Structure 1
Amino acid sequence: MGCLPAAPLRTWLGLGLFALLCLGLGQAREKRVVKSKVGEKVSLPCCREIPRSESLQNYRAYWQKNVTDVVLAYSDGERIRIHERYRNRTEMDPWDLILWISPVEILDNGTYQCVVQHNSVVACDERVTLLVTADFSEPNITTKVSTSSCESTEMVIVCSSHGGFPKPKISGALNNVPVEWNASWVSEFSLYNVTGTLVLNMTSDVNVTCSVEYDSLAKSSSLLLKKTNDCVVPPVPPSYNVITASSIVLIIFILAIILATRYLPRRVCPHCCKPQDLVEEDMKEGTKPPVSSKVTSETSSV
């Protein structure tokens, strides 16, 4: 069984170690992240410091963003260039080469690169990622009743939050049971406003929780919704059979009254009026002439 020559074996081992070293450096570069909030002051470290014992005239250092935009550049210890958007917000010490930004803005979010040249030779080249966040407002939960009955109430629940960055996720729960919101986002001046909508059919009291999550941060609010029981039960209309029977009874009663008033004999009050014969006799007596006084005297003499 043959053996590989020693020299090629050492060569392959060296190449493998070099590849692992490059891979590790690449991963280390990707993991260099600095976080800051809007309005704060942040520092981005460079991969090289200039020893105080050396002269700045041998060095040229600059920071650039997204490879194309030069943020700040120094040569021989003097500033030679600055990006207009970073003017009056950016500074760099010519020795430690740390880039300071204050106040931080949303547009500062991104990847920066520090490049140091010593005697026109690149001595350092490393990237730093700046993650900028802006706090969202406390979620505001509002409700609106769409339909209601004694058994259940259909509620439209709206949860909203504004003024944050980066783009958030919205989540929630009903009585600690997770629910999915119908979410929508609006971006204004690179800041996000988020709104979540949920339709709930309530049959009992419900505790609603809404959370807005962004960059490992979260803002939450809760609201207790109570099912109202003060509904008025509408009266049940009478059935058709009941209405028909009542109508028949009423009609029979009216007909009975009409027949009774028309065909039953009338009773005459003896004290209220006289019989017809007595009335006629009284009229006859009233028409007889009076007896003269002469006849009366003659009769008395006889």
Structure 2
Amino acid sequence: MGTMGCENILLMMFMLSDMLSVVSATEIKIEAFFNKTAKLPCNFKNPQNSSPEELVIFWQGHKDDVLYEFYRGKENLMYVHSNYINRTKLNPNTWILQLQNVQIMDQGMYTCFVQHYGSKGPVVIHQFSFQLSVLAPFSKPEIIQLDNKTAEIGDVLNFSCSANQGYPKPQKMYWKIETKNSTKYLGDMYVFQDNTNQLYNVTTILSLLINDTSPWINITCLIQTQESMEPLASETMHLKTQPKENPDSSFLIPGLVIAGAISAVLCIFILIGRNACCATREAPNVKAENTEHPKERDEALEPMNHGSCEKTEDR
């Protein structure tokens, strides 16, 4: 019986240890926005109704840096870290400490300690820990077309989408491509962190082949910052597809017209020249003088180009 009792006690101790581990793992989380004010709780109810002169209350950061100390009814800055000077304000009614101008470096674990100052000195009567997370909303994603092209069928158009100054790093960034027949999701995310304020800038690139499956295309860029939040969407870019133009097609019809006109003019000039040549060939013979000599044709009127008009002889 005694052995079984010891085993049961050991089992209960192990179970209690597991329960304490679960409780410690379940952290209270406080969220604050970048450059705004965070409210750091203490969760102190003052059950003994102690006067402020009997209490010492201070908040300590994850690096053991003191943010603020309320020492027996007065603010004490002796042990406050320089990073928090002029950034805190205490509400003595709620025991909530306001931390102003929150930065990314402020996030982490914090603990509020309450000591009762009695005859035996300070004794810790309350302790409360919580996790501070800092959020910075990204700017609205913006789509930019990287090439100066129209959406001609067969071309590849390139786009970029960017959002800036956000925190924490988004989970994913993608494209929503809507056409007449389909919807597609594409995109790889490129992340850049600002060394000064630790905020993130993100970009994704899209190369889109324009095909003839739809007369229109809608393009939207989205960022998923947290799983529990709706994705942040850009303005939708609307494209209207059109057939690809032949670079020489605009000159084809005018060229044919000009060539036909030139040919017609050349034919007219050839016909006029040939008619003139033949008319010269048919000039009458010169009459002979009143002599007994026979009639002869004037050799000066013979055409030089015998191939242009057909030659005839006098009989």
What TM-score comes out, normalization by structure 2 length?
0.67
Q: Distance in 2 between matches of 1:17 and 1:57?
A: 41
Q: Distance in 2 between matches of 1:20 and 1:179?
A: 45
Structure exhibiting the larger radius of gyration computed from Cα positions: 1
Does the 8 Å contact 2:153/2:244 carry over to 1? no
Q: Distance in 2 between matches of 1:196 and 1:48?
A: 48
Structure 1 residue 157 displacement after superposition: 0.8
Does the 8 Å contact 1:156/1:197 carry over to 2? yes
Counterpart selection for 1:90 from 66, 75, 88: 88
Query: Aligned with 1:183: secondary structure?
Result: strand
Q: Which has the higher strand share?
A: 1
Distance 1:207 1:78, change over 3 A: same
Q: Aligned residues: percent identity?
A: 26
Are positions 1:226 and 2:240 aligned together? yes
Q: Distance in 1 between matches of 2:221 and 2:205?
A: 10
Gaps (5+ residues) in structure 2? Answer: 250-273, 294-315
Q: 2:30 corresponds to which letter in structure 1?
A: V
Distance 1:281 1:148, change over 3 A: farther
Q: Quote the residue 1:129 is aligned against.
A: 131
Counterpart selection for 1:46 from 30, 34, 42: 42
Q: Distance in 2 between matches of 1:75 and 1:224?
A: 63
Q: Which has the higher helix share?
A: 1
Distance 1:278 1:74, change over 3 A: same
Counterpart selection for 1:55 from 45, 48, 51: 51
Query: Aligned with 1:145: secondary structure?
Result: coil
Structure 1 residue 90 displacement after superposition: 1.1
Q: 1:228 corresponds to which letter in structure 2?
A: Q
Structure 1 residue 22 displacement after superposition: 1.4
Distance 1:278 1:95, change over 3 A: same
Q: 2:175 corresponds to which letter in structure 1?
A: G
Counterpart selection for 1:197 from 190, 199, 205: 205
Query: Aligned with 1:278: secondary structure?
Result: coil
1:160-199 deviation digits (Å, cap 9, x = unpaired): 1122222223222212321123524242522222221111
Q: 2:232 corresponds to which letter in structure 1?
A: K
Counterpart selection for 1:35 from 20, 31, 52: 31
Between 72-81 and 185-194, the greater mean CA deviation after superposition: 185-194
Q: Quote the residue 2:218 is aligned against.
A: 207
Q: Distance in 1 between matches of 2:146 and 2:190?
A: 17
Q: Distance in 1 between matches of 2:66 and 2:107?
A: 15
Counterpart selection for 2:102 from 93, 101, 104: 104
Counterpart selection for 1:23 from 21, 24, 30: 21
Q: Distance in 2 between matches of 1:56 and 1:123?
A: 14
Q: 2:245 corresponds to which letter in structure 1?
A: C
Between 82-91 and 190-199, the greater mean CA deviation after superposition: 82-91
Q: Distance in 2 between matches of 1:164 and 1:125?
A: 33
Q: 2:208 corresponds to which letter in structure 1?
A: L
1:61-112 deviation digits (Å, cap 9, x = unpaired): 2111123321112222322223333333312245653222234344332221
Structure 1 residue 268 displacement after superposition: 4.5
Are positions 1:171 and 2:174 aligned together? yes
Query: Aligned with 1:25: secondary structure?
Result: helix
Does the 8 Å contact 2:187/2:205 carry over to 1? no
Structure 1 residue 148 displacement after superposition: 7.6
Does the 8 Å contact 1:149/1:231 carry over to 2? no
Structure 1 residue 279 displacement after superposition: 8.8
Does the 8 Å contact 1:145/1:154 carry over to 2? no
Gaps (5+ residues) in structure 1? Answer: 236-259, 283-302
Distance 1:148 1:40, change over 3 A: closer
1:275-295 deviation digits (Å, cap 9, x = unpaired): 4x439889xxxxxxxxxxxxx
What TM-score comes out, normalization by structure 1 length?
0.69
